[in-house]
C-alpha cells in the first residue's frame, strides 16, 4: 500500500504516489534553482509545469490512473536532466548560439515577437527558414496582383495559433521542448 497525494500541475489535478511526487518536486526545484534570471522564474516554471502536465496526460492509460515513479521518469527523460555544471560555467557571447541541440519538426505558429499585423508572415518565415522581409514582400506583391491573398492571410490568421508560451516558441523553431532548452531560451531572450 502506498500513500498518494493530490497535486495541481499546470492547472490540472493529478493523483501521484508519494515517492513520485517527491522525485518530481526535487526535479522541479533543481530546475528552478538553475534559472539565472530570477525575474523570469515564475513564467518559465509555469511553462515547464504545463509541459509536465502535457506529458502526464499523454502517458496516462486511463482517466483515474495514479502517477507513479515510472511516469515521472518518462517526464524527466523527455524534459532532460538538469545540467547544474553548465550553469556555473559562464560562456562568452561568442560561444552562445541559438542551437539548442537536435532539431524536431517545426510547427506553424504566428510569431508575436516580430509581428506587424498578426504575426502570420513572421511565423511563416520561421517555419520555412526564410527572411521575414521576403515573405512580407511576397504577400504584398500577391495582394496587389491577386486580391485573394488578403483572404489567405485572414484564414492563416484565424487558423494558426500564436506562439505565446516558451514551449510553443521552441516548437515553432523546431527545438525540442526540454527543461534545459527552456532555460537556455529564457537566458538568450535577455
Q: Whole-angstrom Cα distance, residue 152 to residue 181?
A: 33
Could you tell me the pTM of the whole model? 0.55
Domain that holds residue 151: 112-162
pLDDT at 105: 78
Q: Whole-angstrom Cα distance, residue 162 to residue 171?
A: 12
Same domain (yes/no): 15, 62: yes
Same domain (yes/no): 23, 60: yes
Percent of the chain with pLDDT over 70: 83
Q: Whole-angstrom Cα distance, residue 5 to residue 20?
A: 9
Number of domains in the chain: 2
Same domain (yes/no): 73, 120: no
Find the angle CA(157)-CA(161)-CA(164) to the nearest 5 degrees. 120
Residue 143 lies in a domain: yes
Q: Whole-angstrom Cα distance, residue 59 to residue 66?
A: 11
pLDDT at 39: 74
Lowest mean pLDDT among 30-39, 91-100, 138-147: 91-100
Percent of the chain with pLDDT over 90: 0
Residue 185 lies in a domain: no
Residue 169 lies in a domain: no
pLDDT at 83: 59
pLDDT tens per residue, range 24-60: 888 888 878 877 767 777 777 887 888 888 888 888 8
Same domain (yes/no): 76, 128: no
pLDDT at 104: 63
Same domain (yes/no): 126, 62: no
Residue 177 lies in a domain: no
Q: Whole-angstrom Cα distance, residue 61 to residue 74?
A: 14
Same domain (yes/no): 89, 121: no
Instruction: Enter the C-alpha cell of residue 1.
Output: 500500500
Residue 9 lies in a domain: yes
Same domain (yes/no): 8, 61: yes
Q: CB neighbours of 70 closer than 8 A, spacing ≥ 6?
A: none
Tell the residue number behind the cell numbers 526535487, with chain if given. Answer: 26
Lowest mean pLDDT among 2-6, 17-21, 143-147: 143-147
Residue 104 lies in a domain: no
Amino acid at each position: 500500500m502506498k500513500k498518494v497525494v493530490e497535486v495541481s500541475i499546470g492547472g490540472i489535478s493529478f493523483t501521484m504516489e508519494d515517492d513520485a511526487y517527491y522525485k518530481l518536486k526535487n526535479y522541479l526545484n533543481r530546475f528552478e534553482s538553475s534559472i539565472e534570471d530570477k525575474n523570469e522564474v515564475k513564467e518559465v516554471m509555469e511553462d515547464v509545469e504545463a509541459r509536465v502536465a502535457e506529458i502526464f496526460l499523454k502517458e496516462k492509460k486511463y482517466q483515474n490512473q495514479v502517477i507513479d515513479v515510472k511516469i515521472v521518469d518518462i517526464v524527466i527523460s523527455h524534459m532532460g536532466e538538469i545540467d547544474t555544471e553548465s550553469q556555473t560555467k559562464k560562456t562568452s557571447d561568442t560561444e552562445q548560439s541559438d542551437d539548442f541541440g537536435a532539431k524536431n519538426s517545426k510547427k506553424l505558429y504566428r510569431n508575436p515577437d516580430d509581428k506587424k499585423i498578426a504575426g502570420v508572415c513572421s511565423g511563416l518565415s520561421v517555419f520555412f527558414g526564410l527572411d521575414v522581409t521576403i515573405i512580407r514582400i511576397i504577400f504584398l506583391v500577391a495582394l496587389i496582383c491577386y486580391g485573394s491573398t488578403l483572404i489567405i492571410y485572414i484564414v492563416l490568421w484565424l487558423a494558426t495559433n500564436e506562439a505565446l508560451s516558451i514551449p510553443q516558441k521552441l516548437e515553432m523553431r523546431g527545438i525540442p521542448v526540454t527543461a534545459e532548452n527552456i532555460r537556455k531560451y529564457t537566458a538568450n531572450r535577455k
